[in-house]
Amino acid sequence: MTGRTTGLLLAAAFCAIPSSRAATPQDLPATDPTTLIRELEAAEQKRKTSSSARRSDIYAALGRAAAGGSDAANLYEEAVKNTGSEHKAGKGKKNGDGKKVDADLLRSEQLQVAVAFQAKYLLIGLRLRESGKEETAADASFAYVRDYVRQFSGEKFMRLPEQADNLLKKPASDGPLSKWMFLGGELPQGESWEPAAGNLEGILEKNVRPVWRKNSDPRLSSTWDLQIEFQGAMAGAGGSDFEREKFQTLVKPRLLFGRAVDRIFQGQPNMAASEILALIKKYPTHPDWPSWAEKLRLSLRPAPTPSPAGE
């Protein structure tokens, strides 16, 4: 093959390779901007209306469940069936996946009450996220804790079925109600909100006390009294002398110290110092004793004298 023939063949081959540069697509005809803006505004209004209707439906469903009873059981059943959440099989009806929903569990007052409290807690979180009113959420959270203590301090509700216990101990955003209603992104996030509906210590320390400390709310002490009441009831319910002794000698003094420190935010520094000193005297072997003593020592130091003007 001659050089001329080879050159012709290579040229033909290169010509056969399609160009990687595609033709520029043709644009649509220009549309009147006024028309586009009008359609955009209509779409925005439709979205707003749909979101408002969805929010109303969610609030209504959670409100019914918060009353407990069959409404709570029905909402839980629908949520479990539609999300595939784990539950124990038993005598009951099958959902679309062929899984059984435990009828005895649904009739259980313990489950119904747990669902009701998770629904109440979800409503508090949704309203806070929507309004941004921390003071309102703090008041609602404290009222919620008071109701929780009254309900769950009874022997009947101290030991719950696994499903009911999970509703209260695990993050509410991970529960079947939240998953079914797609509430995860609509609930408060971060360290300033307790995720679990049954963690009373977390609810008081995250949802309530920071707001009340900032506002010098005189109810701060009552948050500690409520926590002491509930944890004492839990320790006593265990029937163990060890648990009761642990509460009296380790846990309760720690809570009393927290209450004493918060006296300062309530404008009662002298009472705070008096209560801390009483704890120091009464519990000399407590593991927190050194930090108590240091807190008292710091609180008793005189305030620094302001420097004269011009110095």
Q: Is 89 in the same domain as 103?
A: yes
Domain boundary among 184, 215, 246: 215
With beta carbons less than 8 A apart as the criterion, state whether 137 and 73 touch.
no
Distance CA 290, CA 111 (A): 44
Q: Are residues 235 and 162 in the same domain?
A: no
In tens digits, the chain (311 residues) has pLDDT values of 555 555 544 455 445 555 556 678 888 788 888 877 777 777 777 676 666 788 889 999 999 999 999 999 999 999 999 887 655 444 444 444 445 557 888 888 999 999 999 999 999 999 999 999 999 999 999 999 999 999 998 888 888 889 999 999 999 999 999 999 999 889 998 899 999 999 999 999 999 999 999 999 999 999 999 999 999 999 988 778 999 999 999 999 999 999 999 999 999 999 999 999 999 999 999 999 999 999 999 988 876 666 665 55
Closest C-alpha to 226, from 251, 249, 246, 201: 201
Paired tokens of 16: 């056969």
139 and 246 together in one domain: no
Give yes or no: residues 176 and 243 share one domain: no
- Domain total in the chain: 2
Cα–Cα dist 139/124, whole Å: 10
In a domain, 96, yes or no: yes
Residues 242 and 255 in one domain: yes
Kindly report whether the global pTM for this prediction surpasses the value 0.75: yes
Beta carbons within 8 Å of 166's beta carbon, 6+ residues apart? 175
Task: Report the alpha-carbon distance of residue 72 to residue 117 in Å, rounded.
Answer: 10
Q: Which of 181, 215, 249 is the last residue of a domain?
A: 215
- Residue 38 in any domain: the answer is no
Show the domain range for 84.
Answer: 55-215
Closest of 145, 72, 78 to residue 109, by C-alpha: 72
CA atoms within 13 A on the CB side of 255: 23
Interatomic CA distance for residues 218 and 175, integer angstroms: 35
Residue at a domain's end among 192, 215, 238: 215
